[in-house]
Amino acid sequence: MVALRELESHGEPGALVYLSDCVELMRMMPAGSVDAVFADPPYRLSTERGITVKGGRLAPVDKGHWDRSMGFEEDHRFNLRWLREARRVLKPDGTIWVTGTHHIIFSIGFALQTLGSRIINSVAWEKPDPPPNALHTAFTHAHETIIWASRGKGARHTFNYDLINSPDPASQVSSVWRIHAVPKREKMHGYHPTQKPLRLVRRALLASTGEGDLIFDPFCGSGTTAVAAKELDRFFVGAELEREYAELTARRIMAAERGGVLREISETLWDGA
């Protein structure tokens, strides 16, 4: 077995991304070692004939080989494999967040329940500015789903209710999150085709973790989870297969200010952060 310290890593002390397959990395990690997992796995959207709209023009949906379907059964086996390891490295009271569209989210939900996890919430991330439906054969895809789950039915989990909700019971944060796509300022260090907005990940981590907790991301991509963790004064470790994106994550980690968002938290956090 390769020692964890021998794997190529990028970032800084307290926030590291390893250039590694996520399952192989998790198998090197101790059981019950992380407080939360935030995962944005491949949605399996890329096809030879898939199209979308970018800048008002038709464009192919081909994010890379990592986003192409291997067939339903193999895609589901992949989800079971990485989720099994993610659940193993999670602390007994830890939770896991997984994003997805209808292409994979039902497989994710079934896999989590098969492994014994309990789904706490199914959150709808509503996009105010979704791309139009190019083929006019379905409703415009204006949301993604985020599943929030604990390790099992008897597990206790962190939910910082008073921190994220208004004192007014009528103003509670619901399971529908209306959040705009990634602003340009969050793309200044490089491009990734499936980058998530910081505001989305911050909300999840602020709700379910505490300062000093360890966050793990099996599919680092552009490094949004790493940045959110550092800004909220959490520790971070992640896996990324593509060198280009591991280096992008490292650049974003180095540019982020540790604890910066915690010093700015106010009632306007959910309106513009």
Domains of the chain, first to last = 4-272 (3.40.50.150)
d(CA 127, CA 118): 26
Higher-scoring residue by pLDDT: 249, 131: 249
For residue 44, the model assigns a pLDDT of 67
For residue 11, the model assigns a pLDDT of 82
Whether residue 59 contacts residue 234, with contact meaning beta carbons closer than 8 Å, is answered with no
Beta bridge partners of 53: 58
Q: What is the mean pLDDT of residues 168-187?
A: 90
- Structure confidence by residue, pLDDT tens digits, 10-24: 988 999 999 999 999
Higher-scoring residue by pLDDT: 138, 227: 227
- For the entire predicted model, the pTM comes to 0.88
Checking if the pLDDT of 237 tops 90, the result is: yes
Q: What is the mean pLDDT of residues 80-97?
A: 98
Both tokens assigned to 57: 């023009």
Whether residue 130 contacts residue 141, with contact meaning beta carbons closer than 8 Å, is answered with yes
Coil, strand or helix at 217: strand
For residue 138, the model assigns a pLDDT of 86
By CB atoms closer than 10 A (0-12, 13-18, 19+), residue 210 is middle
- When mean pLDDT is compared across 30-44, 101-115, 209-223, 257-271, the lowest value belongs to 257-271
For residue 263, the model assigns a pLDDT of 76
Q: What is the mean pLDDT of residues 108-122?
A: 97
Checking if the pLDDT of 28 tops 60, the result is: yes
Both tokens assigned to 240: 């990324």
For residue 35, the model assigns a pLDDT of 98
Q: What is the mean pLDDT of residues 177-188?
A: 94
